[in-house]
Amino acid sequence: MSEDSIYQSLRGSLGYLRLAAAAEALPAELDYAQKMKLGHSAFLGRLLEVEVAATEERRRAGLERFGRLPAPWRVEDFDFDAQPSVDRAMINELATLRFLEDATNVLFIGPPGVGKTMLAVALGRASIDAGYRTYYTTAADLVARCHRAALEGRWATTMRFFAGPRLLIIDEVGYLPLASEAAAALFQVITQRYLKGSIALTTNLGVGSWGKIFDDPMVAAAMLDRLLHKSVVFNIDGDSYRMRTHRARSERLRPRGKPDGDK
Ligand code: ADP
Ligand code: MG
């Protein structure tokens, strides 16, 4: 076999095995190996490395797309000094992702603007970066999706979907009251993940008010029971961070030397 036909056949084999990155890198790697007088194993090692890197990148991009995180927030971006009611050490502990190992849930409870979504998303970011399948949804989207699934006869598939991710983020529970069908969907998602997979959940309602979101207080109680059994709960209070930046901006814009009316 001539050099050329060996090369063609090698390239063909790499293509057949779907090692596209290695196939593409082949000519350059062959030249490099010749120039540097690499042995067979060093050459093969370099070629496979190219394919491993490409596979990892594909996997990472896939997790990223799948996750649907609404913002690029990271734990490091959170201003803990502005929000003293958030236990920094506990957030840092959660960011190690050990909580995913025993399916611990994380609840962020508090009024609008205090950073609940930011913290949940930042944990999601850490989870994706560590290679865990992670999925972000609002409670309203989850419920709408389950509703569609029920109509289209895809209930079981959809339930399996929500059972799948290692971390499921359910944002904004309680902003809208949930009718009994919606509550049943949320209840089933929570129940089937119970002790199997972590949920990070944000809500504006204190645990005591959960009965208000749902028509049926028994469903609310059962849901909370499962969520809280193994959980870390953050009760965040204080001012909205949005309002705070808004205030700081208007204070900067206020002319100097003028008496400050509301002090
Ligand atoms: P919530 O979900 O509690 O309503 P968000 O997480 O959406 O609040 O936060 C509102 C906005 O304020 C976001 O842009 C968020 O990045 C920012 N924010 C809130 N708290 C903090 C904080 N402690 N440090 C930095 N940014 C914050
Ligand atoms: Mg929010």
Interior CA angle at 139 toward 99 and 96, to 5°? Answer: 15
For ligand 1, say whether the CB of 112 is within 6 Å of any of its atoms.
yes
Pocket-testing residue among 118, 205, 240, ligand 1, by greatest number of atoms within 8 A of Cβ? 118
Q: Is the domain of 133 the same as that of 217?
A: yes
**The model scores a pTM over 0.85:** yes
| Alpha-carbon span 203 to 233, nearest angstrom | 11
pLDDT for the residue numbered 212: 79
At residue 256, the pLDDT reads: 56
Q: Which atom of ligand 1 lies nearest, measured to the CA of 73?
A: 16
Residue 249 has pLDDT above 90, yes or no: no
Q: Ligand 1 mean position to 66 CA, how many Å?
A: 23
pLDDT, average across residues 160-175:
96
Considering every ligand atom shown, identify the ligand nearest to the alpha carbon of residue 74 and give its number: 1
- 256 located within any domain: no
* Residue 171 DSSP symbol: E
Closest CA to 170 of 185, 150, 160: 185
Same domain, 142 and 240: yes
Q: What is the pLDDT of residue 2?
A: 86
Is residue 253 in a domain? no
Query: Are residues 134 and 198 located together in one domain of the fold?
Result: yes
* Residue 103 beta carbon below 6 angstroms from any ligand 1 atom: no
DSSP state, residue 209: G
The CA 222 to ligand 2 mean position distance, Å, reads 24
Asked whether residue 27 falls in the same domain as residue 101, the answer is no
Domain match, 109 and 40 both = no
- Say if residue 26 is in the same domain as residue 81: no
Ligand 1 geometric centre to CA of 4 (Å): 61
| End-of-domain residue from the set 64, 88, 107 | 64
| Residue 238 φ/ψ region, left for φ over 0, alpha for ψ in the -120 to 50 degree band, beta for the rest | left
| pLDDT over 60 at 241, yes or no | yes
Q: Are 23 and 114 within one domain?
A: no
Residue 70 domain-assigned (yes or no): no
User: Do 28 and 155 share a domain, yes or no?
Assistant: no
Give the residue, out of 75, 241, 242, 247, with the most ligand 1 atoms within 8 A of its beta carbon, to mutate for a pocket test.
241
Rounded CA gap, 89 and 92, in Å? 5
Residue closest by Cα to atom 9 of ligand 1: 115
**3-state secondary structure at position 94:** helix
Do 120 and 219 belong together in one domain? yes
Lowest mean pLDDT among 92-101, 196-205, 253-262: 253-262
Is 255 domain-assigned?
Answer: no
State the average pLDDT over residues 197-214: 89
Question: Residue 231: which H helix or E strand, with range?
Answer: strand 231-235
* Per-residue confidence (pLDDT) for residue 260, from 0 to 100: 45
Summarize pLDDT for 85-132 with one digit per residue, the tens: 999 999 999 999 999 999 999 999 999 999 999 999 999 999 999 999
- Please tell me the number of the ligand nearest to residue 81's CA: 1
Please say if the pLDDT value at position 199 is more than 90: yes
Q: For the chain, give the mean pLDDT.
A: 91
Q: What is the total count of domains within the chain?
A: 2
Q: Are residues 53 and 79 in the same domain?
A: no
Of 86, 88, 96, nearest in space to 129 by CA: 96
Q: Is 193 within a domain?
A: yes
Q: Can you give the residue range of the structural domain that contains 211? A: 75-245
Q: Are residues 107 and 214 in the same domain?
A: yes
Determine the distance separating the centroid of ligand 2 and the alpha carbon of 162, expressed in angstroms. 20
What confidence category does residue 243 fall into, taking pLDDT thresholds of 50, 70 and 90? confident
Query: 83 in ligand 1 pocket by Cβ < 6 Å?
Result: yes
Here the CATH number for the domain that contains residue 164 is: 3.40.50.300
The answer as to whether 251 is a domain residue is no
96 domain-assigned: yes
262 in any annotated domain? no
Q: Verify that 30 and 130 share a domain, yes or no.
A: no
Residue 200 near residue 108, CB atoms below 8 Å: yes
Domain boundary among 20, 37, 64: 64
